[in-house]
Copies of this chain bind each other. A is one copy, B any other.
């Protein structure tokens, strides 16, 4: 399932190239993005099925799972930005919600702003995997790693005013941060920032994590 058009959301498809059968669920706009990039022609239509899905229209996606696409505040992919753009250009990004056996989990690897609509959609779940890209909005700049804030990249910061701890901390759901940039100190198990997110009721996701609901 594709939730965004940025490199980290779609380039993995190139690793699955050449005769590996699977199905891509994605909004039509993202399937169109694959189509206008000839390199994704390596996904042979004889073995790779592309299924367009629409926001808020649940579909069966196999293994007893019901998938629902949710819209999140986002920005256009980096490579589709206007040359020299200095502020994030609004564009859709998505979250996925899965229902099975009366339990519900959502994954939202990119979210530019936690508004009331986001809170409502995520608060309706048993667990949420949420955008944990940066701890501080300016941490890339402060560390000399880049010139952009998190918000400029379409990611609400974990801390600070309007950040994830403040805006999602009270939701009565299991909250797990993922899509964590390597500049983010919550990756260090003994950092003050890790203690801060855990004290606020959040977990830090890791490779191989298993979640039972």
> Footprint of B on A, CB under 8 Å?
7, 10-11, 14, 17-19, 33, 36-42, 78-80, 146-147
Contacts and interface: CB of A to CB of B under 8 A. Distances in A.
Contact of A39 (B7, B18, B41, B42): B7
Contacts of A18: 78, 146
A80 B38 contact: yes
A3 B147 CA distance: 32
A42 B7 CA distance: 8
Nearest to A7: B14
Contacts of A147: 19
9 contacts: A19-B146, A19-B147, A36-B38, A37-B37, A37-B39, A39-B79, A41-B78, A41-B80, A42-B79
A61 B10 CA distance: 32
A116 B41 CA distance: 34
A38 B38 contact: no
Given A11-B39, A37-B39, 12 more contacts: A7-B17, A7-B39, A7-B42, A10-B39, A18-B78, A19-B146, A36-B38, A37-B37, A38-B80, A39-B39, A39-B79, A41-B80
A40 B79 CA distance: 7
**SS of A interface (majority):** helix
A80 to B, nearest CB: 7
Contacts of A14: 7, 11
A85 to B, nearest CB: 11
A202 to B, nearest CB: 27
A71 to B, nearest CB: 22
